[in-house]
Amino acid sequence: MAEIVGRDDQITTLDALLDHAIDRRGGALVLRGEAGIGKSALLEHAARAGRARGMRVLRVTGVQAEVQIAYAGLDLLLRPLRPAASDTSSPYRMAVEVLDLLGEPDGAVLLVIEDAHWLDAATWETLTFLCRRLESDRIAVLMAVREGEDIDRRLAAAGLPELRLEPLSPADSAMLLDRTAPGLAPALHGRVLDEAAGNPLGIVELGSAVARSGGSALLPSSLPLSVRVERTFDGLVADLPPDTRRLLLVAALLDGDSLDEILAAMRVLTGAEVPADAVQPAVTARLVTVDEHYDLRFRHPLLRSALRQQAAAGERRRVHQALAEVLSGSPGRRLWHRASAAPGPDEALARELTDLALGATQQQTVAVAAATVNRAIQLSQDPAARGRRQIMACTLMREQGDSQSAQRILEDVDVSALRPADQARLAMMRESFSSKAWSGAEQLLAYADLIDTMRRDDNAGFAIDALAEIALRIYYSNAPAHVIDRFTDVALALGDGGDDPRLSGVLLTIAPAGRGADGLDRLRQLVHRTGLSPGVRCDLSIAAWAAGAFEIAGAFALSSAAELRAQGRIGALAVALNAGAGAHAGLGDARTALPLAAECIALAQETGQLMWALGGGLIAALAEALSGDVAAARRRADVAEQIFTAARRLPMLALVQRARGVAALAEGHADDAFRQLIRVYDPADSAHLPHQRLHLLGFLAEAAVLGGFLDELRPVVAEMEPIAARSQSPALLVGLGYARAVLTGDYETALAQDLTGWPFDRARLQLTYGSALRRSFKLTESRPLLRAAADTFDSLGATPWADRARAELRATGETRRKPMDALAVLTPQEQQIARLTAEGLSNREIGTRLFLSPRTISTHLYRIYPKINVSSRAELARVITSSDVV
């Protein structure tokens, strides 16, 4: 093949990408530029160069006709390696399967994707997620996309490196034209260069056309270059036999490349057998190629576009109808071609697509459901039904982790066409997406009225959905009593949670103090119940956390996360990880909380759930404060404060104060800690959040006893006593036990509580009591308490508290050496991998959990071993186990 003109730097970049992949440094690159700028030529170079290096090359071209068919592009890309994709996988789970599949060959693999902007959404999400997970994999991915605002948004969300192709220089343009059409008259030579403006395809096609037809080929000059180049293709196609032209149109509209399927559709269209040789004139004209698998590929995407545009609407519909008949054995593909053949909106077809989407949702195939319901939206005739489908699509997109698409759908909904129940849900969803200030209490009351209307209209399911969606919003709103009472009444009118467990969670989240006792009893009954969906368990974990039942919250969250992870629903997984991290941080377990929070932050950022990422950051800040990394904790708190203040989400500042207060305690600045934490209890303070008072009393009491603020603590304890009796919040009851002990000196009663599930709080009691005994010169009695406290704090990763316990022991005359913490030298992700390895999971199993390839896990272990001075999985397990029980 002729040398590519003017692209030496770009070729060097592509060659480096291939060499890095061969060297187990996988990577991805997106080629961007206008139509005809040379993307296809560079892709072809990369494919040839990859094969020359011994790489396996897999290729696919995005097709506009198949943009709504989930995994159509991925199936074509991977067809040489395996059967069609299982439609039970999400894009994120599918990405891990593809990483695993591509890791099996001995050599490196190059994926070449042309016209990636026409890939179906599921394939796009799969491939871009895969690209972000390439680390130690022998995989290179090269995508080509055109310019456009929509492409800008998609690439911004994908976060992949880009290489933009600019027009050729005048010298390179002239060289290319001389090679293409040597001997052109100077006037025509200059006109071609002016018209092509450095576009390589324009230079080649317009130069060839001028060489054949003279200056008339450049008219009309007012048309965009891409249209004029397409017209040169039109001229080439017009010279072909009728059957060949029609065959090319079928190929342009087919959601695939199979020549057999194309010929079968031709048989339906013509009523007669069409021989395979009908394609040969197009092959001879170098418009298409047919490979050994009888797959037909167009020489340039503009030819496919030209064929679609020149065909009359009626002819395109007839082709789609023929393809639907041919593809009767593939219901999903057949349905899409039926939808493409529809002359306009078709409510019956929209209902059929919606039913298919609901079935896919029940089977956890979220990506398929989302693509299907989006097509149903396009075909909807009933405006109210269209709006409800848009709301359904938004929910599916959020679960899948595509927040940008969900936001665009919400903005497109016609509120005036919606039924009142759907209007309520839409209003709540829009507010939950908004980064602006939340609406006030009166707007919340309006939501309550609309949800009650749903119930009265026999839409109980939608009413419970709406309550579940808004419950956490109410929790963080400092809503007045009459608003909480109204939502409580609405929830109770729907039942007591016996039929739908979410009602128990809703009641507990919106009123953890008022409904705590009954709600917690119900959650304890549900925690081991089988058959609850992971989404319901995630909601219940948040409710349990709100009530301070951290053990229950952790059990719900981690079981939910396991299923969501298996299904690849990373949008929902980020929320479950947030709940799990929050539960363990609430228990003082920094070791477990920090890796969960780190993964929550990464997934939430990746899926555009910025508030969940921010919440995960504040949980990480609490865990970092507990572990002694106070600088990191304060940085996160400062960032969150700026965002919450700008958005007027002031009650959420309580989480900022939590991190700052615990960080101050970790540094030994008890006076600062008390000032930070008491703000949460002060109704006049912007950081006041009544529900967080259930969680923070233990830390506030610790700051009070260390800083000499016991008189200021007494009224707080008196205020919280009746709330504890009413709510039965485990966190509040434990905190009150500690607060009473520091106020009365009766530590024995506090230690007599069942604190089995509260090791940090038991150790805090032991430390405070042991310190008091040491100051009273009861050294012998103090030592067992201080030893136990130091051991527990070490096991939880609460290093500053463990150091305090050891300092108190030294003051009694006993020296206790600080144990080596093997995990301290590892990053949160490395800690996660090390723990899973210690549990006996294989690299493949760990990769499946963390959405990484087995090769990447192996590389991480290669880095982990020397950090903690081990050389095998067995030694790693022993070190990790000993670190967990020190």
**Who contacts 35 (Cβ-Cβ below 8 Å, separation ≥6)?**
146, 201, 225, 226, 229, 301, 302
CATH class of 823-885: mainly alpha
**Alpha carbon distance 734, 548 (integer Å):** 10
User: Over 90: is that where the pLDDT of 590 sits?
Assistant: yes
d(CA 674, CA 37): 64
Bigger pLDDT: 276 vs 197 = 276
Across the chain, what does the average pLDDT equal?
A: 85
Strands (DSSP E) found in 385-542:
none
What tens digit of pLDDT does each residue of 41-100 get? 999 999 999 999 999 999 988 877 666 677 888 888 888 887 655 444 677 778 878 888
Structure tokens at 760: 């940090």
Residues 6+ apart with CB under 8 A from 276: 259, 263
Tokens of 405: 């698409």
315: alpha, beta or left, given left = phi > 0 and alpha = psi -120 to 50? Answer: alpha
Domain ranges within the chain, ordered by starting residue? 8-164, 170-222, 236-341, 762-817, 823-885
In which band, very low, low, confident or very high, does the pLDDT at 768 lie, cut at 50, 70 and 90? very high
Residue type (1 letter), 621: A
pLDDT score recorded for residue 85: 54
For 811-856, the DSSP string reads HTT---PPPP-GGGGS-HHHHHHHHHHHTT--HHHHHHHHT--HHH
User: Which DSSP helix (H) or strand (E) runs through 49?
Assistant: helix 39-52
Secondary structure of residue 223 in the 3-state scheme: coil
Does residue 552 sit in helix, strand or coil? helix
Q: Which has the closest alpha carbon to 78: 53, 64, 54, 95?
A: 95
What is the tens place of the pLDDT at every residue in 464-518?
Answer: 888 888 888 888 888 888 889 999 898 888 875 456 888 888 889 998 988 777 7
Q: Does the structure show a pLDDT above 80 at 183?
A: yes
Fold designation for 8-164: Rossmann fold (3.40.50)
Stretch 237-247: mean pLDDT, rounded? 87
